Structure 1
Amino acid sequence: MSKYQYIKQSAYEANMQLPKLNLVLFTFGNVSAADHDLGVFAIKPSGVPYEYLSPEKMVIVDFDGNTIEGDLRPSSDTKTHAVLYKHWSDINGIVHTHSTYATAWAQSQRCIPIFGTTHADYLTVDVPCAPPMNDEMIQGNYEYQTGFQIMDHFEKKGLDHKEVEMVLVGNHAPFSWGKSAEKAVYNSAVLEAVAHMAYLTEQINPQAKRLQDSLIKKHFERKHGPDSYYGQ
């Protein structure tokens, strides 16, 4: 058995959740699962329909984007995953989708406003939207530069990737991450739900106001604060 079997299994199971959660159409998405001790991650092969996936078809790649094990080409977004893993050593799962509502906000080049308590259960800020990539970066190593596009935006805005585990890439689509591939998928589903709710909110009331600070603090801290009391 391959020493990478468990991350292959993790990546496979996480990828199979994307169509179940209606986060992907056809092959529009990918999940990876990393092992920082081994310096590698497992990722979906490029362009393979989800119904044909298996743990054995996951491709093992190092944090420089080189294929270490596997007969298939890795996802076209592999270098973005590699950059994020190389620089953010505390994440072990990354998801990229083109889910409808999150992608619509990305295409609109807009952050998702924190309108309600559902959003505040997970974030204390708007979902960030990184600006579109400039021409020089696009014409260079595009997928590699996408990773830096995300990281540079977080640095510029003073955001902590351990607290804000999701981003929109302007004119492109969403990425999410977490301590595991499973958690990254969870965050991707939350992002799509929040994006959908925010879209509907603006349709119902174009002048809708952001959630007041006291409610943001209350809802986030009851789940994540030192005195959290949500759940068992």
Structure 2
Amino acid sequence: MKKRVFKANIALPKQGLIKLTWGNVSEINRELGVIVIKPSGVSYETMREEDMVVIDLDGHSLERDNLKPSSDLATHIVLYKHFQDVNAIVHTHSTNAVKWAQARRDIPAYGTTHADTFCGAVPCTRQLTQAEIEENYELETGNVIVETFTQRKLDPLECPAVIVYGHGPFTWGETTEVAVQNSIVLEEVADMAFGTEQLNSNIDTIDQYLLDKHYYRKHGASSYYGQN
């Protein structure tokens, strides 16, 4: 787990998704009740595989010499507890996705590149209240993500991403590799959507039948994209 989480974290700056220490990746093993996550504030240039932090599902350290875990740990724990098919989570402050978070807008599905990964718009959460921010910010960030998916009746595997109002994106998947890939795709479609609206401010979202075709040819029981 440490090796996978380290490799996934190192991929973030390589893919241009983070600067400085603005990101983290975690993985869960539900059978063992263990989460491995990036340490807080450690430079990617000096970070080592053995620095990955091992904790239980209540956030308690399981290794004597653990570094402090990412400050976003509580958000990851909430998502793991509510999204039972998710095994890895990525958080970044990637530029284009953050633009939509700061604009307080969902990322619309304007084309098939978006539809290949996200079965509809990528949602933006509501704003956290002052009380939520002051009392338990990271935990409430997780709660508002779960609230958004519950209220909108979204499947977290059909839409493996969210942008938190005024903050930034979280993505997830069944593996660390898939979760990172979803972050890469999210950043690209955020940029594409921004450019699309600049070129045509009256553009409509992609037709549902075309969106469904592109999403379900890659996902689900009837998918046929790729090799067996």
| Category of TM-score, reference length = shorter chain | over 0.9
Q: Distance in 1 between matches of 2:83 and 2:76?
A: 10
Pick from 26, 45, 52: which aligns with 1:32?
A: 26
Local SS of the residue matching 1:140: helix
5 Å matches for 1:48-197? 48-69=42-63, 70-197=65-192
What letter corresponds to residue 144 of structure 2 in structure 1?
Answer: Q
Contact 2:59 2:74 in 1 (8 A): yes
The question of whether the paired residues in 2 share the 8 Å contact of 1:64 and 1:83 is answered with no
- Structure 1 residue 115, shift from structure 2 partner: 0.3
Partners of 2:101 and 2:166 within 8 A in 1: yes
* Alignment partner of 1:201 is 2:196: yes
Shift of 1:79: 0.8
Aligned counterparts of 1:215 and 1:9: Cα–Cα separation in 2: 39
1:124 Cα offset (Å): 2.2
Shift of 1:158: 0.6
Cα shift at 1:87? 2.4
Aligned length: 226
For residues 24 and 32 of structure 1, the distance between their equivalents in structure 2, rounded to whole angstroms, comes to 15
- Which residue of structure 2 aligns with residue 3 of structure 1? none
CA distance in 2, matches of 1:201, 1:216: 17
Per the alignment, residue 14 of structure 2 pairs with 20
In the other structure, the counterpart of 1:223 is 218
User: 2: CA distance between counterparts of 1:89 and 1:214?
Assistant: 29
Per the TM alignment, residue 132 of structure 1 is displaced from its structure 2 partner at its CA by 1.3
Deviations 1:23-78 (A, max 9, x none): 00010000011111111111111111111111100001111122222431111101
Aligned to 1:47: 41
- 2:62 is paired with a residue whose SS is strand
TM-score calculated relative to the size of structure 1: 0.94
| Mapped partners of 2:25, 2:46: distance in 1 | 15
Partner amino acid for 2:6? Y
Q: TM-score, normalised by structure 2?
A: 0.96
Instruction: Work out whether 1:8 is the aligned partner of 2:2.
Output: yes
Q: 1:217 to 1:71 in 2, by over 3 A?
A: closer
- In structure 2, distance between residues paired with 1:123 and 1:166: 8
**Paired-residue identity, %:** 50
Q: Secondary structure of 1:106's match? A: helix
Superposed displacement of residue 109, structure 1: 0.7
CA distance in 2, matches of 1:78, 1:37: 19
Q: Assess if the C-alpha contact under 8 Å between 1:133 and 1:149 holds in 2.
A: yes
Q: Is the 8 A contact 1:120 1:219 kept in 2?
A: yes
Gaps of 5+ in 1: 1-6
SS of residue matched to 1:89? coil
Report if the CA contact (8 A) 2:54-2:66 is conserved.
Answer: no
